[in-house]
Amino acid sequence: MLSPWLAVSDPAFSQLEELGREMQKLLGFYAPAGNIRGVISGTFPPVNVAETPEKVIAYIYAPGIDVSKLDLSIEKNLLTIAAERNTAADIGENVKPEGYYRRERFTGGFKRVISLPESVDPSRTEASYEAGILTVSIQKKEEQRSRKIEVNVS
């Protein structure tokens, strides 16, 4: 008797599902089918984290940030990057647009938190910013580094 009220094909449910999809898009949690490895659409800045035998390197692609206002920290193996980006400066300080036909770069603050492996030593971290790429290099703890063992032949 309740089955007509709970039918998934009911138009009310499809409207709620559509509303949910629109809210996900609005909030930046929408990941279209072609999105690379499930990365959340609109995630900024994009990050690549690589590992060598000696260190872990995070490449943060963040053009247009004010490096003097960059907040970079590591606590409990979490790398936190917080900064602001003013894309209005891209068009020049003397230009005051009345509106935009298209605006794809956002202006404002952002924060990313990246999980790092337990093997890193936060006290041995270096960072540099060049051509819009923030590179953070964190050395591994000495006891965590892999070592090649020579085999003596007798």
More confident residue, 10 or 64: 64
More confident residue, 124 or 95: 124
35 and 51 part of one domain: no
How confident is the model over 49-54, as a mean pLDDT? 92
pLDDT tens per residue across span 55-93: 999 999 988 888 888 999 999 889 999 988 876 666 666
What is the value of pTM for the model shown?
0.62
pLDDT tens per residue across span 111-123: 899 999 988 999 9
Residue 154 lies in a domain: no
Residue 42's pLDDT is what?
A: 55
What is the largest distance, in Å, between two alpha-carbon atoms of the chain?
A: 85
136 and 64 part of one domain: yes
How confident is the model over 119-138, as a mean pLDDT? 94
> Which residues lie closer than 8 Å to 88 by C-beta, 6 or more apart?
107
29 and 73 part of one domain: no
**Residue 48 host element (H or E):** strand 47-51
Collapsing DSSP to helix, strand or coil, 5 comes out as helix
Collapsing DSSP to helix, strand or coil, 107 comes out as coil
- 130, 67 in Cβ contact below 8 A? no
The CB density around residue 60, as the number of other CB atoms within 10 Å, is: 25
**Mean pLDDT score of the chain:** 77
Task: State which residues form the domain around 72.
Answer: 44-93+105-144
34 and 86 part of one domain: no
